[in-house]
Structure 1
Amino acid sequence: MVLLIIYVGVVVCMEMNSRGTPGGEYVTPGTIYFEASGYYRRKSLSSLPKTWWKLHTDGDPLWNRLQLPVDRYFSPILSPNNTKKGFKNDTFLESPLTQSFSDVVNSNGTSRNFTELPEQIKEFVRHMHRRDYRTVHQPSGVCGAGAQDQKENTLLLLAIKTTELNFKNRQAIRQAWGQVGWVAGQNSSGGYVRRVFLIGKEDPIELGVNISELLELENKHYGDILQWNFKDTFFNLTLKDVLFWSWFSRYCHRTQFVFKGDDDVFVNTANIVTYLQDQLKRPNARKTLKDFMVGDVIAAALPDRSIKSKYFIPESFYKGNYPAYAGGGGVVYSGLLAKRLHRMSKRVHLFPIDDVYVGMCMIRLNAYPIHHPAFLTFDFPGKEEEELCAYHKILLVHKRSPAQIVRLTADIKKTQAQCRDVPLRDGVKKGK
């Protein structure tokens, strides 16, 4: 009888605690969750959606079903031994991805639902387990094209996503903001910059011509092409991130920062160099830079359900908010973080939207991008662009044509003296 009374008391206390837990959420009747109190507030563990603890996944979208068993496998609470092993063994990291893909994709329910997916998603799913693509072209330098007489470690590697056909974009970048070697910043600061273009393959049959030889000649001349043998599509941009991180981890041991961006952005490289030198001077820089990523941060975004949008993600493929991510054409992160993202990517299934995928890897590292208003991924607001020193206040603006990129670089040089002491844009409109 005493034991029975104790048991009833424990059950009642647990029920009261579960209802009074800070940050708790209403659970729909019939849905079974297990939630570890305080898990989401521990800095040593990464933040994940509470559906991580859901016991039943029947009827969940494809990507969620694929990723859930992997997150559970590497849970420091559910499987602490697996977490420790995973940081030491690449093969051990990759095997849960392979197993969950095989289990989920080959199940009867998934096979039936697969036919209902849009064609571009079907194509992505057919190949989303593959990452073993052959390298077609490598840069001539160890870590991208750079100055032959470089005397210090590389401060910044410009890693630009482009396509075989976008030669004009690459050429404009080479002539303008993407020049390699020593780049002077403001206030006598500076650093060495290197460059690499990230490219997949065009289908010669669809294109009507094979331009492989032209790209080979281009790489021989400039030495800045990194190309893999996968089809260059919008949904395969995520592959460029994953394969680039792998290449970077192997060849760029002493590179301090990476700019990863599109080939239609204008970058004020001198401002970025100055900004990064300032980061290195901060207290405990080595410790903080392991998580360092800065850009135009988009928080709590929802998947685009418009079937006409190139960002369309159907409900049958993914459910939930997107994690915070830096998007819109350009982001800067530390070399230390690039290596950590490489290892974490082995624990996260590929996702069709590349910026979102980076956010998915970041949140599992318990790292969060920093928002900076000098990243204008949606262009200047209002008439701000018409100001004399507008382009001296920014780090990046999207979108610009090759001709505009070259012209803007020349304009900045002409107004350098007049705008020398202009601070970076802070996003706050000053009153008169």
Structure 2
Amino acid sequence: MAKCQCRWRRVLLCLCCAPCVLVGSLCVYISLVISYGITITGPAANIPQTLPKHFIAQGLTINGSLAPHPSSSFWDANYHRGALWNRLQVSIDRFYNPILMPKSRRDRYDHLHTSNDDNKKKQFSHPTAGFSEIGNLASIMDDFPELSLQMQMFVRSLHVRDYPVLIQPANLCGSGPRKGQGPFLLLAIKSQDLNFENRQVIRQTWGQAGRVAGETGEGRVVQRVFLLGKKDTELDVDVSELLQLESRHYGDILQWDFQDTFFNLTLKDVLLWDWLSAHCPQTQFIFKGDDDVLVRTAALLDYLQQQILQSGGPGSEGMKGFMVGDVIGAAIPNRVNSTKYFVPETFYKGLYPPYGGGGGVVYSGVLAMRLKRVSRRVHLYPIDDVYVGMCLHRLGVHPIHHPAFLTFDFPKKEMEKPCAYYTVLLVHKRSPAQVKKLWSEMRRNHSECQNTSLRKDTTGE
């Protein structure tokens, strides 16, 4: 009987305690929920219920290891409407988009596409799969069979930009890539193998190398290099041996093994940037121009020295994005089939970004290194000046317009003035005979014209 009563007491005790335990657990749960609700609804975590249409997670657009994705493009991003270049560029943009492709994945891709033999990338550092995604070129470019042979060749080799060096200067900037001090100004002049007369006149006039005095009398180190490709020996005279002799005598020839056509002039820019990075990284300024221009080198040296002082020094922020020339803005592709600048809509759609046109521009050595890096993210384009503008756009750099870079010759009234050539830093389209004659005249008139001011913009800009 006593055992039975003890058993019943245990049952009653459990029945009385169980609700208390449940109620206690429920109270703890409610307290936790309330605390959590207060935490997430505080002012420091005001999370919208509906994300905006173009929401981007904070911290992904600007980061030390991730490059910001451009907010706008000068080209037509609607690649479904055709335009080969646009479609290929969209592929690169997606690859370098910090949200779609984290840096760790890009690094793995680059590692897999690196040669084990010489540890150098043979192609772009972005996926060349964009070409396979497009398929047959003719399926995108309906007019491909009707295009000029030069355009067809450019399109077929669009993904290749690594070409071997055939001739290069020895110790142009010192004994090693990181030793000594580079030149104040490097004259990088685009030429062709048969243009020996152009090169010779430049060497004797405005392109003299060594310590060159500015018009103020202060000397600066100037070096000179001519940029050449290779002509098709089946169509032209083979002058390779003569170029070797010229190189040994003057030490200023830099030649690569690619076809030297108008559309391949862009290669001279990107390959120059690579060469500078390896052999002449300490260069302060680079003049990049054609071999049919006249440059007032002494005045240019003075102008560049002024720019350094105004910007705060060679390593200033201003020098990181410094490029000056005859800037062309709001340009559009040339659709006239009979011109050498013709670019069909099946290849490119959109506007052109601002770019330095004409016979030459000057930019800082720091900017050259930045252009080298960003150019790997921009597909080659058949107009070299426009391509440089595309790379500048990616860097957020706007070139400086200066009317003393005279692209389209003097207005007639200015030409008649006795000191007209003292108002410019560069004038385009002059034959070797004209350069020689003008250089002699300018030396004769130096005392009379040395205080002449540079041209000013007559448009009020």
TM-score band (shorter)?
0.7 to 0.9
CA contact (8 A) 1:85 1:92 kept: no
Residue of structure 2 equivalent to 1:81: 103
What is the CA deviation profile of residues 312-342 of structure 1, one whole-angstrom value per residue up to 9, with x for unaligned ones?
A: 0001000000111001110000001111111
Q: Are 1:276 and 2:304 counterparts?
A: yes
Residue of structure 2 equivalent to 1:328: 358
Distance 1:45 1:277 in 2: 35
Distance 1:350 1:392 in 2: 37
**Of 79, 82, 88, the match for 1:60:** 82
CA contact (8 A) 1:306 1:312 kept: yes
| Secondary structure of the structure 1 residue equivalent to 2:126 | helix
| Secondary structure of the structure 2 residue equivalent to 1:281 | helix
CA contact (8 A) 1:190 1:277 kept: no
- Unaligned segments of structure 1, at least 5 residues: 1-8, 19-33, 145-150
Q: CA deviation at 1:173?
A: 0.4
**Of 196, 214, 225, the match for 2:225:** 196
Q: CA deviation at 1:204?
A: 1.4
What is the CA deviation profile of residues 342-399 of structure 1, one whole-angstrom value per residue up to 9, with x for unaligned ones?
A: 1111111111000000011110011111100000000011220221211111110011
Residue of structure 2 equivalent to 1:23: none
What amino acid is aligned across from residue 173 of structure 1 in structure 2? I
Distance of aligned partners of 1:326 and 1:47 in 2 relative to their CA distance in 1, 3 Å threshold: farther
Q: CA deviation at 1:59?
A: 2.7
Q: CA deviation at 1:95?
A: 3.4
What amino acid is aligned across from residue 399 of structure 1 in structure 2? K
Alignment of 1:28-427 (within 5 A): 46=70, 48-49=72-73, 57-76=79-98, 78-79=100-101, 81=103, 94-106=124-136, 109-110=139-140, 114-115=144-145, 117-143=147-173, 153-207=182-236, 209-285=237-313, 286-427=316-457
Distance 1:105 1:418 in 2: 65
What amino acid is aligned across from residue 167 of structure 1 in structure 2? F
What amino acid is aligned across from residue 317 of structure 2 in structure 1? K
Distance 1:176 1:113 in 2: 46
What is the CA deviation profile of residues 271-291 of structure 1, one whole-angstrom value per residue up to 9, with x for unaligned ones?
A: 110011111112434221111
Distance of aligned partners of 1:50 and 1:172 in 2 relative to their CA distance in 1, 3 Å threshold: closer
What amino acid is aligned across from residue 191 of structure 1 in structure 2? R
What amino acid is aligned across from residue 92 of structure 2 in structure 1? V
CA contact (8 A) 1:141 1:223 kept: no
CA contact (8 A) 1:137 1:225 kept: yes
What amino acid is aligned across from residue 186 of structure 2 in structure 1? L
Distance of aligned partners of 1:355 and 1:78 in 2 relative to their CA distance in 1, 3 Å threshold: same
| Secondary structure of the structure 2 residue equivalent to 1:307 | coil
CA contact (8 A) 1:291 1:337 kept: yes
Distance of aligned partners of 1:210 and 1:120 in 2 relative to their CA distance in 1, 3 Å threshold: closer
Q: CA deviation at 1:106?
A: 4.7
Distance of aligned partners of 1:368 and 1:80 in 2 relative to their CA distance in 1, 3 Å threshold: farther
Distance of aligned partners of 1:51 and 1:259 in 2 relative to their CA distance in 1, 3 Å threshold: closer
Distance of aligned partners of 1:382 and 1:107 in 2 relative to their CA distance in 1, 3 Å threshold: closer
Distance of aligned partners of 1:429 and 1:111 in 2 relative to their CA distance in 1, 3 Å threshold: closer
Structure having the higher Rg: 2
TM-score normalized by structure 2?
0.77
Q: Which moved more, 1:214-223 or 1:284-293?
A: 284-293
What amino acid is aligned across from residue 159 of structure 1 in structure 2? A
What amino acid is aligned across from residue 220 of structure 1 in structure 2? R
What amino acid is aligned across from residue 328 of structure 2 in structure 1? I
CA contact (8 A) 2:74 2:352 kept: no
Q: Which moved more, 1:389-398 or 1:99-108?
A: 99-108
Q: CA deviation at 1:103?
A: 2.7
| Secondary structure of the structure 2 residue equivalent to 1:294 | strand
Residue of structure 2 equivalent to 1:4: none
Distance 1:267 1:287 in 2: 27
Distance 2:216 2:397 in 1: 31
Distance 2:424 2:233 in 1: 39
Q: Percent identity?
A: 52
Whose relative contact order is higher, 1 or 2, with alpha carbons under 8 Å and at least 6 apart? 1
Distance 2:312 2:306 in 1: 13
Q: CA deviation at 1:130?
A: 1.2
CA contact (8 A) 1:389 1:419 kept: yes
Distance 1:427 1:139 in 2: 39
